[in-house]
Amino acid sequence: MKRISIKDVAVKAGVSIASVSYVLNNKIDSRIGKDTIEKVKRAAEELNYRPNNIAKSLKTQRTNIIGLIVADIANPYFSQIARIIEDEANKIGYTLLIGSSDENPEKFEGLINMFCDRQADGLIIAPVENTEKYLHKLQKQKMPFVLIDRHLPKIEADNIQINNYEISYDVTQYLINNGYKNIHLVAYQTMLQHLLQRTKGFTDALEKHQLLQNKNAVLDIDKDNIDQEISSGFNHLFQKNNLNKPDAVFFTSNKLAVSGIKKLMKLGINIPKDLAVVAFDETEAYELFATPITFVRQPLTTIGTKAVEVLYAKISNHTLPIQNIILKAELHIGQSSEPKLN
């Protein structure tokens, strides 16, 4: 089947090839009349014209493709971010290709290689632990990329994060101000800096108020065994003969929170009468619980728009200085953390 060309559109519309090129590439100026524009658009539609992107990319040295690597596309945080980034990319004429690393370094490397093979113009990346060597490889290849959600200290690159330490400190302070003293943190076993900052904010707030007396105030969970480890940990913390049960729990992710709240319900623990709960990030799953959950809301729209903005600028000019952007998250207060009644 013969591919429809710009020349075919020009013949059909009865105008010059140059006029067709101007109209189809949105480079319309005062020299192109409204009548010509309508003729070209009508002819292109009737002929079902599709631009030859391969030829265009050879000419411009761009594919107009952005690659996005998220840690877990099943996580509502990343699926929402992906939608925002896709919309922003479309606004500037880019197609977004998405890959999920599932926090796996080997899968992460495969996605990096795939996007390079597809000759993406740039990447937006939520990096996985122990993947510095792959990012160094991208830098050697002069592939523009922006890190989101988390950063790797050994990688000097554009990155967009939130105030993880500050918001975690503020959440803990908020619980203390509401009368809670035996606060526990449920976090991941990890070396990722953004998650370590959340734990540090928590422990620093407890230390300030001399409440870090319990060395087991942080329950570290293996990301591959969330339900099992939370179940085991909560069975121990909330056993009947434990006279020092937690009066508040702060979860550092929505996946931990959903698993944890389900376990608390099985244990018959009333929220917030028996226990206050605060979670990091929102998810529609919170709506399934009887008590509205207090959670940390990240500025997802700003993260997504900034990521595309910074990446597009770097694609256009590789010599731009590195940007380290820190955005502010906010605490959305529900009934799950009401002031303690004593």
Q: Is the pLDDT of residue 235 over 80?
A: yes
pLDDT of residue 32: 76
| Angle subtended at Cα 37 by Cα 33 and Cα 42, rounded to the nearest 5 degrees | 150
What length does the chain have? 342
The two domains 6-51 and 64-162+300-328 share their CATH topology (first three levels equal)? no
Residue 6: pLDDT band with limits 50, 70, 90: confident
b/e 99-127 (16+ beta carbons within 10 angstroms → b): bbbebeeeebbebbeebeeeebbbbbbbb
pLDDT tens sequence across 181-197: 999 999 999 999 999 99
- What is the architecture, at CATH level 2, of domain 164-298+331-337? 3-Layer(aba) Sandwich (3.40)
Q: Is the pLDDT of residue 5 over 90?
A: no
Cα separation of 324 and 156, whole Å? 9
**Coil vs helix vs strand at 168:** helix
Phi and psi at 71, nearest 5°, equal -80, -35
Q: Is the pLDDT of residue 307 over 90?
A: yes
**Coil vs helix vs strand at 327:** strand
Q: Is the pLDDT of residue 4 over 80?
A: no
Phi and psi at 97, nearest 5°, equal -110, 135
Average pLDDT over residues 265-289: 92
pLDDT tens sequence across 92-118: 989 999 999 999 999 999 999 999 988
The residue whose two tokens read 């959903």 is 258
Mean pLDDT of the chain: 90
Cα separation of 318 and 46, whole Å? 41
Give the CA dihedral 141, 144, 148, 154, nearest 10 degrees. 40
Closest CA to 51 of 75, 24, 14: 24
- What is the architecture, at CATH level 2, of domain 6-51? Orthogonal Bundle (1.10)
Is 97 in contact with 115 (CB distance < 8 Å)? yes
The residue whose two tokens read 């509205």 is 292
Which residues, in sequence order, are bridge partners of residue 25? Answer: none
Q: Is the pLDDT of residue 169 over 80?
A: yes
Average pLDDT over residues 277-296: 92
High-pLDDT (> 90) share of the chain, % = 70
pLDDT of residue 313: 96
pLDDT tens sequence across 197-232: 999 999 999 999 988 766 679 999 999 999 999 999
Q: Is the pLDDT of residue 10 over 70?
A: yes
Which tokens belong to 322? 């590195």
The residue whose two tokens read 């265009």 is 56
| Angle subtended at Cα 187 by Cα 184 and Cα 188, rounded to the nearest 5 degrees | 155
Q: Is the pLDDT of residue 121 over 60?
A: yes
Alpha-carbon separation of residue 34 from 19, 30, 37, 43 (angstroms): 12, 9, 5, 14
Give the CA dihedral 129, 133, 137, 139, nearest 10 degrees. 70
Q: Which of 18-22, 85-89, 231-235, 279-283 has the lowest mean pLDDT?
A: 18-22
Is 228 in contact with 158 (CB distance < 8 Å)? no
Residue 37: pLDDT band with limits 50, 70, 90: confident
**Coil vs helix vs strand at 127:** coil
Residue 54: pLDDT band with limits 50, 70, 90: very low
pLDDT of residue 57: 47
Is 153 in contact with 191 (CB distance < 8 Å)? no
Closest CA to 330 of 286, 276, 275, 282: 282
Whether the bond between 272 and the residue before it is cis, its omega within 30 degrees of 0, is: yes
Alpha-carbon separation of residue 144 from 22, 78, 306, 341 (angstroms): 29, 21, 15, 54
Give the CA dihedral 339, 230, 152, 107, nearest 10 degrees. -140
Phi and psi at 290, nearest 5°, equal -65, -35
CATH of 64-162+300-328, one of 2.40.50.100, 3.20.20.60, 3.90.1150.10, 3.40.50.2300: 3.40.50.2300
High-pLDDT (> 70) share of the chain, % = 92
Q: For the chain, give me the number of helices (H) and strands (E)?
A: 12, 12
Residue 26: pLDDT band with limits 50, 70, 90: low
Question: How is the chain split into domains, by residue range?
Answer: 6-51, 64-162+300-328, 164-298+331-337
pLDDT of residue 18: 83
